[in-house]
Amino acid sequence: MMRSALFLFSMLTIASIANAQQKQVLVVPADAQGVLKYSPEALKVINSKCMNCHTPTSKDEDAKEALIWEETFHYGKKLALLTLDDILESLEKGEMPPKETVEKTPSAALTKAEAATLKAWVETSLAKLE
Ligand code: HEC
């Protein structure tokens, strides 16, 4: 009994480590030369709610076409402004993560606080660039 409990515990631990490693994290590269800068607060929200689909390895082609976070590290002013406008619009309309995802997995939704954090970061960034 004790041994099987221990076995189960170690399997669960291994599973959670594997899971954590799979989760994609947005890390600002040392050679980032773009004008778009991320606040630590914005990165935290993006990492927990916006990374599954908008990464180079995502299987969601539409999401990749719309935005790949890693590419924004090298954006100049024009692309940075366009991207910030897109993000702001998606926040104002409550479009991201997509409705179907949130319906299937309610915890995928942005909380009000997370949406406010992202919005504040977008607005500060726009003010700096404009
Ligand atoms: C479950 C996958 C998924 C997640 C998670 C997700 N997106 Fe998207 N995103 C998409 C898809 C698919 C599109 C393109 C289709 C569309 O425009 O609806 C898209 C498009 C966008 C666009 C382009 C503008 C637009 O509305 O078309 C922006 C900006 C964006 N996402 C930001 C975000 C942000 C910010 C988050 C986190 C709050 C996020 N996304 C989370 C799938 C996702």
Residue 56 included in any domain: yes
Residue 18 included in any domain: no
State the chain's mean pLDDT as an integer: 90
pLDDT tier at 5, thresholds 50, 70, 90: confident
Domain count, the chain: 1
Domain of residue 47: give its range.
Answer: 35-129
Residue 115 included in any domain: yes
Residue 107 included in any domain: yes
Residue 46 included in any domain: yes
Output the pTM of the full model.
0.86
pLDDT tier at 1, thresholds 50, 70, 90: low
Mean pLDDT of 34-45: 96
Residue 6 included in any domain: no
Mean pLDDT of 46-75: 96
C-alpha of residue 123 to centroid of ligand 1, in Å: 18
- Atom of ligand 1 at shortest range from CA of 50: 37
Angle at CA 74, nearest 5°, toward 70 and 78? 115
Mean pLDDT of 60-73: 97
Taking a C-beta distance cutoff of 8 angstroms, is the pair 125, 86 a contact?
no
pLDDT digits (tens, 9 = 90+) for 44-60: 999 999 999 999 999 99
CB within 6 Å of ligand 1 — which residues?
A: 49-50, 52-54, 60, 62-63, 66-67, 86-87, 90, 95-98, 101, 110
